[in-house]
Chains A and B, each alone.
Chain A
């Protein structure tokens, strides 16, 4: 099975490990991710704040490319790229004039019929199809994760068809459940980490992340699981900074969902590049490694 794949800028740079992991995990699950040709930046959250036309046009071009290549579905692991692409698709479906206008500039016109999927939607579909079970090699006993969704995966600035509950999403819990891991319920799963505020307004961002960390610790979690590269990088790279501010001694690894799935499949953390985290995650994944299924 082949589906179109939009990595986005993050997954080609600071979160290249997520790109590698996504390809590996999906190939284990029988899905070949086909990176679309000559894709462009989706504009991320910045486009909506600087220019509304570009916020529509930039993702629209990528949809056109994927459709022209004949794909029925495109998976976008980065939450911001996913959100922007889904919103652009819906807005252009609702505004025929704008759609016609952006299409005048594209060699590959966008129609809008392609299914734009988050990484969780594709994972869950594969799990339901029974592709995961035969691949599982290891069993976790001590993993106590809190699932951190952030904003872009669940809430949208425009009415779009959403695959999960807005206030209490369960997609990650479902995937972890299929691995035999029970995620801890908590309140901050869709609370914002500040995203780019970590760069341009660290005061705000560190306060927000401090609140997320405080509850994760209070609930007894020993790691975060995330799907968004921005959330992962923020909670990971700035963890020392926001923990020092609020006097938290503990440090929690921030795993991509693909890392936990990989570990359950018996893939070594090193080959998934888990050693590129700021907060060490390989130790926790290795401690659990021995539990044969």
Chain B
């Protein structure tokens, strides 16, 4: 069975491919579609057969729309099985991680909004305090979910989510696996300042980079 025909125009395909290759550090053009990644993909059952090799082919063909929004990018658990088994050392999980960032920059809504909300909340928490405080992280993450669900009118989803989290939270509390103290690292200031400088450098016009 063959899929629908794809249009391929090298001029428009190349810049996108170049960007993904540079940012992910992966040589996508080395892929010869052996599908070892597909055979080993942990979330193969979850992505509707949208396997790593298909994602690579989409990027090579310049199908930007599919590459930035597909089940694999958002279901990928970064287990790195595909990359470990790739005969050409292509770490597709680095590609899905890169495409997540590119989708965000292009303001494309994630197919799994909770996944994006979680990782954003996690890193922000780590950066804000220098250490991740699990309770604060979960609070910020759930606020994001509630705001999104409320905007979309999914009130049942809000109730389900809060019920589930409350149940787990209570169980963890009883087992003393919930930490109530607050953690901070002074060094967060070093990282924040460094991050700010790095961002400014990257946003500087071409030719301005040292």
Contact = CB atoms under 8 A, between A and B. Distances in A.
Do A and B actually bind?
yes
A199 B141 contact: yes
B103 to A, nearest CB: 11
Contacts of A201: 75, 112, 114-115
Given A40-B131, A200-B117, A157 B185 contact: no
Contacts of A45: 78, 119
Contact of B118 (A16, A158, A190, A196): A196
Given A12-B131, A12-B179, A50-B101, 5 more contacts: A41-B126, A151-B81, A166-B84, A191-B42, A207-B45
B93 interface: yes
Interface residues of B, number: 62
Nearest to A16: B179
Contacts of B183: 9, 12-13
B175 A277 contact: yes
A197 to B, nearest CB: 5
Interface of B: 23, 25, 42-43, 45-46, 75, 77-81, 83-84, 89, 91, 93-94, 97, 100-101, 112, 114-115, 117-120, 122-123, 125-127, 130-134, 138, 141, 164, 168, 171-172, 175-179, 183, 185-188, 190-191, 193-195, 197-199
A43 B195 CA distance: 13
Interface of B is mostly: helix
B77 A40 contact: no
Given A46-B122, A156-B80, A237-B171, A38 B186 contact: yes
B191 A49 contact: no
Contacts of B197: 104-105
B93 A200 contact: no
A105 B194 contact: yes
Contact of A57 (B93, B125, B175, B195): B195
B5 to A, nearest CB: 32
Given A43-B123, A50-B120, A58 B191 contact: yes
Contacts of B42: 191-192, 208
Contacts of A16: 177, 179
B179 A40 contact: no
26 contacts: A12-B131, A13-B133, A13-B183, A14-B177, A38-B186, A39-B131, A40-B131, A41-B125, A41-B132, A49-B97, A53-B195, A53-B199, A54-B195, A105-B193, A151-B80, A155-B83, A157-B80, A195-B78, A200-B112, A201-B114, A201-B115, A204-B46, A237-B168, A237-B171, A276-B177, A277-B175
